[in-house]
Amino acid sequence: MPTLKFAVLAGDYIGPEVMSEALRVLEHAAGLHGLTLQATYADVGGAGIDNHGKALPESTLRICEASDAILFGSVGGPKWEKLPPKEQPERAALLPLRKHFTLFANIRPGLLYPELTAASPIKTDRIPDGIDIVCIRELTGGLYFGKPKETTPLPDGDVQAVDTMIYRKSEIERITATAIAAARSRKKILCSVDKANVLETSVLWRRTVTDYVARHAPDLQLSHMYVDNAAMQLVRNPNQFDVFVTENMFGDILSDEMAVICGSLGMLSSASLGAGKNALGLPFGLYEPAGGTAPDIAGKGIANPCAQILSAALMLRYSFGLEEPAARIEAAVRKAVTSGARTGDIAFGGPSVGTRAMADAVISAL
Ligand code: IPM
Ligand code: MN
């Protein structure tokens, strides 16, 4: 029986609540497809700080290294807010994990079922069929990692801070390859988003994407858009995009915009794929819901587990090459939601169910 060896980093607040439901769904799907789960739990984020003094403890890193993928919950919250910025769970856990495993390709599906269009802040007549787009964000380069990155007091008494935006051609090429694969699996339309009218890195970005697609994917229809325009087009007519690819910070911002127009953060999954391969010869990856730790609803059993469940499906697809159970879980979530099982965030004031009942509905739909 194929064994799925993965690390479970549930994190803080609603993280563990939605994680345990996702694992129940995964176990059920594994049973149906003859798979064995080998999940190893480890602390991360605030739980790492509380139990080991560090947001990303060494022991957690070792467990991840010995696994074929990471199923991630979410980290951070008011409890650790007073720590210096560099020690905050988000920055001290997620960014080093991305760097350590070179998780350069962040795939964020922006999916809104037609049945849930009322959850979107966009007028429903503009998105009669819902939304179905994909954001591919470069995740280990640009402003978030470039050096120098520092704050310096100046001789004249002023203070100056600098972040550095750096991109190598090779970094742009590998994320373009990911975007090409995503576009080929869909409508073969790719939009590259940059700020080439102002930034040097964007000029290189646009030239590199253009050349790479011309050489490796002449079958694709490639377009380019400035990021400010893209932010506007995304709310004006989201489905004009199919797959869009962009650098780290632009992708951070645009993917949050995409998340809100898709109704609820509780429905959105993401995959961060590494440059390295796992023991199965497939991309090592980290899979996490797009929403945060939601401290305001933690402990109440009402958080939406769907994003975590869908992230587990992405893990099956990309790091274990198991398309069939992945698609089956995705279909089950869709069926459960559209047939009326809904947590508060997607219930529009109608009857709602709790975290566990939502997962139960997905399991019956499986
Ligand atoms: C995300 C998050 C992270 C990011 C933070 C927590 C560092 O917002 O995954 O988008 O900005 O990359
Ligand atoms: Mn973000």
DSSP 87-98: GSHIIIIIHHHH
The answer as to whether 112 is a domain residue is no
Q: Are residues 125 and 245 in the same domain?
A: yes
Place of tokens 């550095």: 164
Q: Are residues 256 and 130 in the same domain?
A: yes
Q: Are residues 73 and 144 in the same domain?
A: no
Q: Are residues 251 and 130 in the same domain?
A: yes
Is residue 357 a contact partner of residue 17, using CB atoms and an 8 Å limit? no
Q: Are residues 243 and 141 in the same domain?
A: yes
Closest ligand 1 atom to Cα of 75: 6
| pLDDT tens track for 195-252 | 999 999 999 999 999 999 999 999 999 999 999 999 999 999 999 999 999 999 999 9
CATH of the domain at 168: 3.40.718.10
Q: State the Cα–Cα distance between residues 157 and 314, nearest whole angstrom.
A: 51
- Between vectors from CA 106 to CA 66 and to CA 43, what angle results, nearest 5°? 40
Q: Residue 288: CB within 6 Å of ligand 1?
A: no
Q: Are residues 256 and 271 in the same domain?
A: no
Residue 5 host element (H or E) = strand 3-11
| pLDDT tens track for 152-189 | 999 999 999 999 999 999 999 999 999 999 999 999 99
Give the end of a domain, one of 230, 261, 292: 261
- List residues with catalytic annotation: 144, 195, 228, 252, 256
**pLDDT recorded at residue 314:** 98
Tokens of 309: 């469940």
Q: Are residues 148 and 252 in the same domain?
A: yes
Q: Residue 102: how many CB atoms within 10 A of its CB?
A: 15
152 three-state secondary structure: strand
**Which residues constitute the domain of residue 294?**
1-106+267-366
Q: Are residues 62 and 41 in the same domain?
A: yes
Q: Are residues 256 and 142 in the same domain?
A: yes
Distance of CA 292 from the midpoint of ligand 1 (Å): 9
**pLDDT recorded at residue 83:** 95
The answer as to whether 116 is a domain residue is no
Give the end of a domain, one of 226, 261, 296: 261
Q: Are residues 209 and 313 in the same domain?
A: no
**pLDDT recorded at residue 1:** 67
Q: Residue 115: CB within 6 Å of ligand 1?
A: no
Q: Residue 163: CB within 6 Å of ligand 1?
A: no
Residue having the nearest C-alpha atom to atom 8 of ligand 1: 252
**Would you list the DSSP string of 299-325?**
TTT-S--HHHHHHHHHHHHHHS--HHH
Give the end of a domain, one of 237, 261, 285: 261
Provide the domain count of the chain: 2
**Would you list the DSSP string of 171-183?**
HHHHHHHHHHHHH
Q: Are residues 248 and 330 in the same domain?
A: no
The answer as to whether 115 is a domain residue is no
**pLDDT recorded at residue 88:** 93
The answer as to whether 34 is a domain residue is yes
For CA atoms 171, 173, 174, 175, the dihedral sign is: positive
The answer as to whether 17 is a domain residue is yes
For a ligand 1 pocket test, name from 97, 252, 253 the mutation site with the most ligand atoms within 8 angstroms of its C-beta: 252
Which regions in the chain score pLDDT beneath 70? 1
